């Protein structure tokens, strides 16, 4: 998947990135963008119709001349509204009574301390 690459092409430093789900699910990234740290997320699908990246780029990495610019524009669409730690925890804590293993894993990934000096 090219979501992480697109975030980087848009100018974000991606500290952590993880997909949740098998062939369709959600992804979360902890990033620094324009000197601010925060969380971004999106969903992906099992086909080119339901996966935003595949729909935008026909599921492949092309040799187009302006492809880097298109990747950056796509990545930027996720970076406009960074979530705080608290907002990301709230977003992943939804429907706790119906959690499956993936939901718990996502919440725990967000709860990890990403403010380490190495970031």
Tell me, yes or no, whether 116 lies in a domain: no
Show the domain range for 20.
Answer: 3-111
Res 12: pLDDT: 98
User: What band does 1 get if pLDDT is binned at 50, 70 and 90?
Assistant: low
What pLDDT was estimated at residue 5? 94
- Return the top range by mean pLDDT from 9-23, 37-51, 53-67: 9-23
- Residue 7: what pLDDT? 97
Q: Give domain status of residue 117, yes or no.
A: no
pLDDT value at residue 15: 96
pTM exceeding 0.75: yes
pLDDT in tens, 47-69: 766 778 877 787 555 566 688 89
| Average pLDDT along the chain | 83
Overall number of domains in the chain: 1
What pLDDT is attached to residue 66? 81
DSSP 98: G
Answer yes or no: are the C-beta atoms of 31 and 13 closer than 8 Å: yes
Note whether residue 8 is domain-resident.
yes
Establish if 82 belongs to a structural domain: yes
Q: Decide if 60 is inside a domain.
A: yes
- pLDDT (average), residues 89-105: 79
Assigned domain for 48 exists: yes
| Alpha carbon distances (Å) from 103 to 17, 33, 59 | 16, 26, 27
User: Which residues pair with residue 28 across a beta bridge?
Assistant: 18, 41
Quick check: is 118 in a domain? no
15-37 average pLDDT score: 90
């Amino acid at each position: 998947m090219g979501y992480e690459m697109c975030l980087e092409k848009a100018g974000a430093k991606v500290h952590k990135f993880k997909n949740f789900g098998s062939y369709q699910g959600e992804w979360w990234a902890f990033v620094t963008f324009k000197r601010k740290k925060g969380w971004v997320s999106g969903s992906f699908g099992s086909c080119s119709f339901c996966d935003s990246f595949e729909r935008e780029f026909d599921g492949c990495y092309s040799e187009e001349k302006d492809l880097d610019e298109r990747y950056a524009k796509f990545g930027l669409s996720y970076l406009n509204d960074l979530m705080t730690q608290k907002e990301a925890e709230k977003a992943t804590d939804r429907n706790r009574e119906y959690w499956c293993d993936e939901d718990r894993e996502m919440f725990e990934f967000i709860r990890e301390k990403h403010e380490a000096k190495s970031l």
